[in-house]
Amino acid sequence: MQICLTHFLPFAMLHIMFTPQKLYEGKAKILYTTDDPTILLTVFKDDATAFNAQKRGTIVGKGDINCAMSQHLFRLLETQGMATHLIDCPTPNTMRVRAVKILPLEVVVRNIAAGSLCQQTGLELGTSLTPPLVEFYYKNDALGDPLLTGDRLQLLHLATPAQVAQLRTMALQINAVLSEFFDKCGITLVDFKLEFGLDQQQTILLADEISPDTCRLWNQAESDPNLRVMDKDRFRRDLGQVEEAYQRVLERVLAQDF
């Protein structure tokens, strides 16, 4: 199938004719091949889902915002020595990335208790978690992305013990860098989800995105538990002003140099 890329490729690239294949369409992004097998193109969508896609909607401008924010934060992490899949962003909602084999894991880091941790443990919302909690979930929509134990990770051969140890170390390093960065933005990084992939040399690279879709972000200037929310919980919990919150996060992130 010939896909018209003219709406998201710069004019300089239009002379390069190729037939991109849609490799995968997820809830928030579409992945295309390029003429280089080591490079893929991610298109960030405005579509929003929650509760394992039971709730669906649109957050206008989200694709551009999440792409720009992910690019800025991946660059920040690269300056701190962390390898990511980012190459560059040819247009506002497209990111060229190194092709990796995504590990079927969602790595969640938590600094403050919220969301499923409170629901499943009874911990009070806002409880400080020191040291931060690192959790592994099975990236499997059909099963509802269940929380994994170390033994289940090995049982299902989802990653080797050495890879699990490395993912945990990388997740904590990323958390340290991002927490300090968001703090300078006047935002508390409550928790977030990361995805990783293996390149052809089996090196683990940070992949996917880092955005208000995948992080809980609380405005430090607000103490009200609803007003402080600057992330996808505004959509999940029908708090309103979703687009405005995403835009405010992006402005603060882009204003903060590194």
Question: Where along the sequence are the contacts to ligand UDP (CB under 6 A)?
Answer: 106, 108, 114-117, 145, 191-193, 214-216, 232
Q: State which residue, 5 or 28, has the beta carbon closest to ligand UDP.
A: 28
How far apart are CB 47 and ligand UDP at their closest, in Å?
Answer: 14
Let me know: does 191 contact 216? Beta carbons within 8 Å: yes
Q: Which is nearer to ligand UDP, 5 or 105 (CB)?
A: 105
- CA-nearest of 206, 190, 189, 205 to 256 is 189
- Supply 241's token pair: 């002003």
Least distance between ligand UDP and beta carbon 125 (Å): 11
> Please, what is the minimum distance in Å from the beta carbon of residue 117 to ligand UDP?
6
Q: Closest separation between CB of residue 219 and ligand UDP, Å?
A: 15
Rg of the chain over all Cα atoms, to the nearest angstrom: 18
- In order of 67, 88, 173, 238, the CA distances from 12 in angstroms are 21, 15, 38, 42
Q: How far is the CB of 188 from ligand UDP (least distance, A)?
A: 12
Tokens describing residue 226 = 């609803």
Whether the ω angle into residue 212 lies within 30 degrees of 0, i.e. cis, is: no
Residue of this chain nearest to ligand UDP (CB atom): 115
Three-state DSSP state, 80? coil
In terms of CB distance, is 62 or 216 closer to ligand UDP?
A: 216
Closer residue to ligand UDP (CB): 5 or 208? 208
Residue closer to ligand UDP (CB basis): 5 or 65: 65
Exposure letters 12-49 (e unless 16+ CB within 10 A, then b): eeeeeeeebeeeeeeebbbbbbbeeeeebbbbbbbbbb
C-alpha distances in angstroms, 155 versus 149, 151, 164, 194, 249? 10, 6, 13, 22, 40
Q: Which is nearer to ligand UDP, 5 or 159 (CB)?
A: 159
The residue (of 48 and 159) whose beta carbon lies closer to ligand UDP is: 48
Quick check: 49 and 28 in contact, CB under 8 A?
A: yes
Q: Are 164 and 153 in contact (CB under 8 A)?
A: yes
Smallest separation, CB 106 to ligand UDP (Å): 6
For residue 76, the minimal CB distance to ligand UDP (Å) is 18
Distances (CA, A) of 131 to 7, 110, 111, 203, 244: 46, 9, 8, 27, 32
